[in-house]
């Protein structure tokens, strides 16, 4: 179908692609945002689905969900535990269960059917979920382990703790035909479980990190296919993770590794068996993993291998009876998010031999995970050592100065002459280069594989433009973001920190959500933050609070609120806000009490962290004219949190709180402007870009003064900084969107594509394949100079999607149910192609703009709509046709309201 429109001498054609129709179909069924999850703890789990259809402007009119305990019942529509009936609604994301009480351990099958304005779907495929152990009393298992340091060199000292892996095993019999077997398991710090020699899952570093004194996660696996008739063996390896083996004086040590396991077997004849961790298990710490520590590395002595230790035939008479360990204090909780897995494998690009006989392997990419070696030629008893680094020194040796105390060394000792293959189990590194010593011959590249690990999640976004610098920055961001997901968003993956620092993620989490489906990771992390909160309401700026830091400042804790806003905005999830509202309110009150004086928030710890310093050897600027006052940062951010709390109060039904938040916000705004705003110059305080942009973007500027404040931002950026960024992690959170919103997308584009210091492009010029901690990461003091930090991305990725691709939630809409498609066209950019898999389906935007031609193809998923704002020069007459609902002349733009489908706008 093709519509041709003329107006003001321009021709605009709108081609509706894919109008052929065909029956709509329900796809992508999810429970609590996962496909067929095991161990759901919510007794009102939420259902989501998408609709696939080629018919334009498809809207769901009603849905019906059915749930039963067997597939057969469900298919016959009988013995249903829930039949929602036909519900008139166009929502298909996070619809809560409202049927009969769900039973502990229960297995449920479900399907959904929808009617649309273009016909109804058939019943969907049948999906299922299983419930967690809903009552703590159902745990019959005990925590077990080896309650001693029992090998030479093992130590629980603060720095460089050292401990061998624990191996545990339990033979049992399953004499009858098995209908279903479920394993409920937790192992602290990390476990790897095997049934009859086979891994129970692909998960690594399970379970998720947590603040153990408050919460301990367990995992649930359906292991039915791994059981065999009669003799079976459940074997578990325990590593230290973050439970034992933290390394700084401020770090809490929780204790020696321990295991909790409960295997529940249901036979076909209806009888059951249970195998639990108890004092009938055996343990040894004399296996081949003689040390493991996420920061220092893993040491593996192949001479201590115990072949087939995890199968029935093994003779464990040399092993000890386990010790019963104290249960960790925290509440045992079914883990709500997927574990970490190996998500990609990469091959190295180069290997060289140094004069001292060591080899340097180059992965070609700063990656996070570990190195797997295959068929390396080893010598009996001669250790092969691997050390991991992000950079090389000028003499081609590895650069370890920025790793601080982490030893980042894996060691493998061969048991015999000849080829060996190996990969570690309980450690990861952030690295591009590996120094290998202890080998005689230069190994071929094919002997090595980089295993890239992060929390299992879908990649949701692709982004490409005509600017090579933007494309490479996007790629660096992609590698940096996934490299810093370790069950929590971390600051960095390589040196002796790797912590859940809040401040690094305030707006980052939102940008990241365009590239990765990070919903469950962040909703888990906000729980870590609440679990780490002090009784007085202080938020630890590292959460889980492995480092407990209660500053009672604002800028870092703000990430807690911003993450919750992101989860609502991006995924339509209000649950985290409801759950953590009282905790957020406690923090707001606490800070008001201890930090507010005359409506100015006085406490600030980190300033506008990592702003570009005036000298390239500095970490932090010493020039007061570059620094933004702490009060400016905390007051503007606290004001924005009050506005968020107003929204959250509305969402949670706490309307009574709203007048208080509003009044306080108004008083703060007034006091702030009275103190920091210079009405003559329209400058905030010392006129840093950060002071002005935060005031502007967070809504504190007096009405009518916005333009003048904005002009100061532009002037300062252009004149004092030559069109370069001058902000640290605070200002950068608003910079790109702010410049664009107030009309200077060209300056934003210049900042995005600069290749001189300071800029993301400068990092690329200097060889970065991730994002640096410092704008001057190539020259600054290595004391704080990670090559893989994502905080300096600020709002860049949001800007890519919202402003360059023009993909945005329409004001008031969440989860992209209604979109505002409105790209901006900076001078010099001629092409953008972006995709984003939203909760309703994939959104696409691809435009090309050359001198006299403009082409834009967009796709929005079924059951969504969009307001498309076309650039002024494409002013149109009213189009008609399927999918196009309305065209309005909106002054300098044409607004086209569309339903779902693919549209091609072009002009000449
Ligand atoms: C971390 C940061 C963190 C900061 C707090 C650093 O050491 O790596 O990313 O936010 O400390 O100031």
Q: Tell how far the Cα of 504 is from the centroid of ligand 1, in angstroms.
A: 7
- pLDDT tens track for 704-726: 999 999 999 999 999 999 999 99
Residue 340 CB less than 6 A away from ligand 1: no
State which ligand 1 atom lies nearest to the alpha carbon of 729. Answer: 10
- pLDDT tens track for 563-590: 999 999 999 999 999 999 999 999 999 9
Residue whose Cα lies nearest atom 9 of ligand 1: it is 491
- pLDDT tens track for 446-503: 999 999 999 999 999 999 999 999 999 999 999 999 999 999 999 999 999 999 999 9
Tell me if 428 sits within 8 A of 493, measured CB to CB: yes
Q: From 489, 491, 790, give the residue whose CB has the most ligand 1 atoms within 8 Å, as the site to mutate.
A: 491
Q: Tell how far the Cα of 791 is from the centroid of ligand 1, in angstroms.
A: 9
Residue 573 CB less than 6 A away from ligand 1: no
Residue 755 φ then ψ, to 5°: -120, 0
Q: Tell how far the Cα of 283 is from the centroid of ligand 1, in angstroms.
A: 39
Residue 294 CB less than 6 A away from ligand 1: no
Q: How far is it, in rounded angstroms, from Cα 400 to Cα 371?
A: 18
Which of 390 and 894 is assigned the larger pLDDT? 390
- pLDDT tens track for 643-679: 999 999 999 999 999 999 999 999 999 999 999 999 9
Q: How far is it, in rounded angstroms, from Cα 483 to Cα 604?
A: 29
DSSP state of 326: P
Do the strands 391-392 and 398-399 form a parallel or antiparallel pair, or are they unpaired? antiparallel
The predicted pLDDT at position 829 comes to 98
Tell me if 385 sits within 8 A of 410, measured CB to CB: yes
Closest residue by Cα to residue 733 from 637, 823, 660, 622: 637
Confidence of residue 820 (pLDDT cuts 50, 70, 90): very high
Sequence-separated (6 or more) residues with CB below 8 Å from residue 771: 473, 476, 477, 480, 760, 763, 788, 789, 790, 792, 793
Q: How far is it, in rounded angstroms, from Cα 691 to Cα 678?
A: 12
- pLDDT tens track for 404-449: 999 999 999 999 999 999 999 999 999 999 999 999 999 999 999 9
Axis crossing angle, helix 689-697 with helix 630-652, rounded to the nearest 10: 20
The predicted pLDDT at position 880 comes to 54
CA distances from 329 to 216, 573, 783 (A): 8, 30, 36
Confidence of residue 687 (pLDDT cuts 50, 70, 90): very high
What would the two tokens of residue 832 be? 């953008």
Beta pairing partners, 96: 46
Residue 772 CB less than 6 A away from ligand 1: no
The predicted pLDDT at position 870 comes to 86
Q: Tell how far the Cα of 789 is from the centroid of ligand 1, in angstroms.
A: 9
Confidence of residue 246 (pLDDT cuts 50, 70, 90): low
DSSP state of 322: P
Tell me if 254 sits within 8 A of 328, measured CB to CB: yes
In angstroms and rounded to an integer, the radius of gyration of the C-alpha atoms of the chain is 29
Q: Tell how far the Cα of 825 is from the centroid of ligand 1, in angstroms.
A: 35
Residue 609 CB less than 6 A away from ligand 1: yes
Residue whose Cα lies nearest atom 4 of ligand 1: it is 501
Q: Tell how far the Cα of 501 is from the centroid of ligand 1, in angstroms.
A: 6
3-class DSSP state of 435: strand
Q: How far is it, in rounded angstroms, from Cα 195 to Cα 200?
A: 6
Q: How far is it, in rounded angstroms, from Cα 649 to Cα 15?
A: 44
Q: Tell how far the Cα of 687 is from the centroid of ligand 1, in angstroms.
A: 25
Q: Tell how far the Cα of 781 is from the centroid of ligand 1, in angstroms.
A: 15
- Is 60 exceeded by the pLDDT of residue 247? no
CA distances from 470 to 88, 125, 799, 833 (A): 44, 41, 11, 12
Axis crossing angle, helix 689-697 with helix 732-741, rounded to the nearest 10: 70
The predicted pLDDT at position 11 comes to 43
Whose tokens are 């039973």? That residue is: 103
Closest residue by Cα to residue 281 from 246, 244, 309: 309
Closest residue by Cα to residue 700 from 717, 680, 677, 678: 677
Residue 558 CB less than 6 A away from ligand 1: no
What would the two tokens of residue 802 be? 């919202």
- Percentage of residues of the chain with pLDDT beyond 90: 91
Residue 496 CB less than 6 A away from ligand 1: no
What would the two tokens of residue 576 be? 């985290």
Tell me if 208 sits within 8 A of 151, measured CB to CB: no
Burial label for 59, CB within 10 Å (0-12, 13-18, 19+), is middle
Closest residue by Cα to residue 688 from 735, 651, 742, 654: 735
Q: How far is it, in rounded angstroms, from Cα 306 to Cα 734?
A: 56
Tell me if 823 sits within 8 A of 872, measured CB to CB: no
Kindly report the three-state secondary structure assignment for every residue of 88-145.
Answer: ECCCCCCEECCCCCCCCCCEEEEEEEEEEECEECCCCCCEEEEECCCCHHHCCCCCEE
State which ligand 1 atom lies nearest to the alpha carbon of 556. Answer: 10
State which ligand 1 atom lies nearest to the alpha carbon of 606. Answer: 12
Q: Tell how far the Cα of 669 is from the centroid of ligand 1, in angstroms.
A: 29
Contacts 24+ apart (CB under 8 A), 390-393: 390/366, 390/430, 390/431, 390/432, 390/433, 390/494, 390/786, 390/787, 390/788, 391/432, 391/433, 391/787, 392/360, 392/433
Which of 829 and 850 is assigned the larger pLDDT? 829
- pLDDT tens track for 141-200: 999 999 999 898 888 877 788 999 999 999 999 999 999 999 999 999 999 999 999 999
State which ligand 1 atom lies nearest to the alpha carbon of 791. Answer: 9
DSSP state of 802: I
Residue 606 CB less than 6 A away from ligand 1: yes
State which ligand 1 atom lies nearest to the alpha carbon of 504. Answer: 10
Q: How far is it, in rounded angstroms, from Cα 448 to Cα 370?
A: 10
Q: Tell how far the Cα of 159 is from the centroid of ligand 1, in angstroms.
A: 20
Burial label for 472, CB within 10 Å (0-12, 13-18, 19+), is middle
Tell me if 258 sits within 8 A of 558, measured CB to CB: no
Q: How far is it, in rounded angstroms, from Cα 463 to Cα 212?
A: 39
State which ligand 1 atom lies nearest to the alpha carbon of 789. Answer: 9
| CA atoms in the 13 A half-sphere facing the CB of 908 | 2
Residue 501 CB less than 6 A away from ligand 1: yes
The mean pLDDT of the chain is 95
Beta pairing partners, 596: 601
Q: From 484, 489, 494, 497, give the residue whose CB has the most ligand 1 atoms within 8 Å, as the site to mutate.
A: 497
Residue whose Cα lies nearest atom 12 of ligand 1: it is 606
The predicted pLDDT at position 851 comes to 82
Tell me if 340 sits within 8 A of 206, measured CB to CB: yes
State which ligand 1 atom lies nearest to the alpha carbon of 497. Answer: 8
Sign of the CA dihedral running 684, 690, 693, 697: negative
Residue 771 CB less than 6 A away from ligand 1: no
- Is 80 exceeded by the pLDDT of residue 761? yes
Residue 497 CB less than 6 A away from ligand 1: yes
- Is 80 exceeded by the pLDDT of residue 1? no
CA distances from 606 to 290, 503, 551, 627, 858 (A): 40, 9, 10, 11, 42
| CA atoms in the 13 A half-sphere facing the CB of 563 | 30
* Mean pLDDT score, 821-830: 96
Residue 314 CB less than 6 A away from ligand 1: no
The predicted pLDDT at position 7 comes to 40
Q: How far apart are the first and last CA of the chain?
A: 19
Q: Tell how far the Cα of 340 is from the centroid of ligand 1, in angstroms.
A: 23
Q: From 430, 607, 609, 773, give the residue whose CB has the most ligand 1 atoms within 8 Å, as the site to mutate.
A: 609
Kindly report the three-state secondary structure assignment for every residue of 762-780.
Answer: HHHHCCCCCCCCCCCCCCC
Q: Tell how far the Cα of 549 is from the centroid of ligand 1, in angstroms.
A: 12
Whose tokens are 């321990």? That residue is: 258
Q: Tell how far the Cα of 492 is from the centroid of ligand 1, in angstroms.
A: 9
Buried/exposed 793-831: b ≥16 CB within 10 Å, e otherwise: bbbbbbbbbbbbbbbbbbeebbbbbbbbbbbbbbeebee
Q: How far is it, in rounded angstroms, from Cα 474 to Cα 461?
A: 11
State which ligand 1 atom lies nearest to the alpha carbon of 786. Answer: 8
- pLDDT tens track for 525-564: 999 999 999 999 999 999 999 999 999 999 999 999 999 9
Tell me if 805 sits within 8 A of 834, measured CB to CB: yes
Residue whose Cα lies nearest atom 8 of ligand 1: it is 491
Q: Tell how far the Cα of 568 is from the centroid of ligand 1, in angstroms.
A: 27
With a threshold of 0.85, does the pTM exceed it? yes
- Is 50 exceeded by the pLDDT of residue 15? no
Confidence of residue 5 (pLDDT cuts 50, 70, 90): very low
Q: Tell how far the Cα of 500 is from the centroid of ligand 1, in angstroms.
A: 9
Axis crossing angle, helix 468-483 with helix 508-515, rounded to the nearest 10: 100
| CA atoms in the 13 A half-sphere facing the CB of 367 | 22
Q: Tell how far the Cα of 760 is from the centroid of ligand 1, in angstroms.
A: 19
Sequence-separated (6 or more) residues with CB below 8 Å from residue 95: 46, 47, 48, 63, 65, 84, 89
Residue 557 CB less than 6 A away from ligand 1: no
Question: Kindly report the CA angle at 485 between 483 and 488, in degrees rounded to 5?
Answer: 150
Burial label for 605, CB within 10 Å (0-12, 13-18, 19+), is middle
Q: From 483, 492, 501, 780, give the residue whose CB has the most ligand 1 atoms within 8 Å, as the site to mutate.
A: 501
Other C-beta atoms closer than 10 Å to the C-beta of 468 total 11
Residue 504 CB less than 6 A away from ligand 1: yes
State which ligand 1 atom lies nearest to the alpha carbon of 491. Answer: 9
Q: Tell how far the Cα of 491 is from the centroid of ligand 1, in angstroms.
A: 7
Residue whose Cα lies nearest atom 1 of ligand 1: it is 491
- Is 60 exceeded by the pLDDT of residue 877? no
What would the two tokens of residue 602 be? 């006085």
| C-alpha 471 chain-centroid distance | 21
What would the two tokens of residue 287 be? 């296996």
What would the two tokens of residue 294 be? 């996420």
What would the two tokens of residue 491 be? 């600051």
Tell me if 560 sits within 8 A of 585, measured CB to CB: no
Q: From 483, 489, 504, give the residue whose CB has the most ligand 1 atoms within 8 Å, as the site to mutate.
A: 504
Determine which of 245-254, 369-378, 770-779 has the lowest per-residue pLDDT on average: 245-254
Q: How far is it, in rounded angstroms, from Cα 29 to Cα 52?
A: 12
Q: How far is it, in rounded angstroms, from Cα 63 to Cα 481?
A: 37
Q: Tell how far the Cα of 603 is from the centroid of ligand 1, in angstroms.
A: 17
Q: Tell how far the Cα of 785 is from the centroid of ligand 1, in angstroms.
A: 10
The predicted pLDDT at position 879 comes to 54
């Amino acid at each position: 179908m093709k519509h041709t429109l003329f107006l003001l001498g321009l021709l605009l054609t709108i081609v509706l692609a894919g109008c052929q129709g065909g029956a709509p179909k329900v796809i992508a069924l999810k429970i609590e945002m996962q496909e067929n999850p095991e161990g759901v703890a919510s007794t009102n789990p939420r259902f989501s689905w998408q609709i696939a259809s080629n018919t334009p402007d498809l809207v769901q009119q009603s849905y019906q969900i059915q749930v039963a305990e067997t597939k057969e019942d469900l298919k016959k529509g009988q013995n249903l535990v829930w039949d929602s009936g036909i519900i008139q609604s166009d929502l298909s994301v996070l619809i809560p269960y409202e049927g009969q009480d769900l039973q502990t351990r229960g297995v449920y099958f479900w399907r959904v059917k929808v009617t649309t304005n273009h016909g109804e779907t058939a019943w969907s495929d049948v999906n299922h979920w299983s419930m967690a152990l809903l009552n703590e009393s159902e745990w019959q298992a005990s925590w077990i382990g080896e309650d001693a340091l029992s090998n030479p060199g093992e130590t629980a000292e603060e720095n460089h703790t050292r401990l061998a892996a624990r191996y545990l095993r339990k033979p049992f019999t399953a004499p009858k035909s098995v209908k279903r077997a479920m394993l409920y398991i937790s192992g602290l710090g990390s476990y790897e479980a095997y049934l009859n020699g086979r891994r129970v899952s692909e998960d690594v570093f399970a379970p998720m990190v947590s603040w153990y004194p408050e919460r301990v996660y367990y995992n649930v696996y359906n292991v039915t296919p791994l059981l065999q008739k009669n003799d079976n063996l459940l074997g578990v390896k325990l590593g230290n993770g973050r439970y034992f083996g933290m390394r700084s004086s401020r770090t809490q040590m929780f204790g020696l590794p321990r295991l909790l396991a409960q295997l529940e077997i249901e036979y076909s004849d209806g009888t059951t068996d249970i195998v639990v961790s108890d004092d009938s298990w055996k343990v040894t710490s004399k296996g081949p993993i003689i040390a493991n520590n996420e920061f220092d590395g893993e040491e593996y002595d192949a001479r201590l291998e115990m072949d087939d230790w995890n199968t029935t035939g093994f003779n464990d008479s040399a092993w000890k009876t386990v010790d019963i360990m104290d249960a960790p204090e925290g509440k045992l909780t079914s883990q709500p998010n997927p574990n970490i897995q190996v998500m990609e494998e990469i091959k190295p690009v180069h290997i060289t031999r140094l004069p001292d006989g060591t080899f340097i392997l180059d992965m070609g990419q700063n990656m996070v995970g570990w190195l797997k070696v295959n068929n390396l030629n080893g010598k009996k008893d001669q250790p092969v050592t691997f050390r991991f680094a992000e950079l090389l020194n000028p003499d081609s040796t590895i650069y370890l100065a920025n790793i601080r105390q982490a030893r980042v060394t894996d060691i493998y000792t061969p048991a015999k002459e000849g080829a060996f293959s190996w990969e570690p189990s309980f450690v990861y590194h952030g690295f591009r280069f590996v120094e290998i010593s202890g080998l005689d011959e230069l190994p071929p590249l094919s002997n090595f594989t980089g295993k890239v690990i992060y929390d299992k999640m879908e990649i949701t976004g692709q982004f490409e433009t005509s600017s090579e610098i933007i494309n490479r920055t996007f790629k660096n961001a992609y590698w940096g973001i996934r490299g810093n997901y370790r069950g929590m968003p971390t600051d960095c993956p390589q040196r002796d920190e790797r912590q859940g620092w809040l401040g690094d993620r305030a707006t980052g989490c939102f940008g990241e959500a365009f590239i990765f489906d990070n919903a469950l990771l962040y909703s888990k992390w906000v729980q870590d933050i609440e679990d780490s909160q002090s009784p007085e309401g202080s938020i630890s700026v590292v959460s889980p609070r492995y480092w407990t830091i209660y500053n009672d400042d604002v800028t870092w804790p703000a990430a807690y609120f911003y993450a919750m806003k992101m989860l609502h905005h991006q995924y339509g999830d209000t649950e985290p806000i409801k759950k953590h509202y009282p905790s957020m309110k406690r923090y707001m009150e606490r800070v008001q009490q201890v930090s507010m004086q005359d409506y100015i928030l006085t406490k600030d710890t980190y300033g506008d962290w990592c702003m570009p310093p005036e000298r390239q050897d500095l970490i932090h600027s010493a020039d007061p004219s570059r620094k933004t006052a702490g009060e400016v940062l905390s007051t503007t951010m606290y004001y924005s949190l009050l506005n968020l709390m107003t929204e959250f109060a509305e969402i949670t039904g706490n309307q009574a709180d709203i007048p208080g938040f509003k009044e306080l916000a108004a008083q703060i705004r007034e006091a702030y402007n009275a103190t920091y705003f210079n009405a003559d110059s329209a400058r905030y305080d010392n006129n840093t870009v950060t002071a002005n942009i935060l005031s502007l973007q967070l809504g504190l500027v007096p009405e009518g003064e916005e333009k003048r404040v904005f002009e100061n931002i532009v002037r300062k950026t252009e004149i004092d900084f030559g069109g370069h960024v001058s902000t640290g992690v605070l200002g950068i959170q608003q910079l790109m969107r702010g410049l664009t919103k107030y009309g200077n997308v060209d300056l934003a584009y210049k900042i995005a594509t600069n290749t001189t210091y300071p800029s993301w492009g400068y990092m690329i010029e200097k060889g970065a394949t991730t994002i640096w901690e410092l704008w001057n990461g190539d020259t600054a003091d290595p004391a704080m100079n990670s090559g893989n930090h994502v905080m300096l991305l600020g709002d860049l990725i949001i800007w890519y999607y919202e402003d360059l691709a023009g993909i945005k939630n329409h004001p008031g809409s969440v989860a992209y149910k209604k979109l505002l498609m409105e790209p901006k066209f900076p001078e010099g950019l001629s092409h953008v192609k972006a995709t984003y898999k939203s909760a309703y389906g994939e959104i696409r935007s691809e435009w090309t703009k050359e001198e006299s031609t403009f082409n834009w193809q967009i796709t929005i998923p079924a059951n969504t709509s969009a307001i498309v704002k076309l650039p002024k020069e494409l002013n149109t007459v009213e189009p008609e046709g399927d999918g196009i609902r309305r065209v309005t002349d909106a002054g300098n733009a044409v607004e086209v309201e569309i339903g779902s489908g693919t549209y091609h706008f072009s002009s000449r």
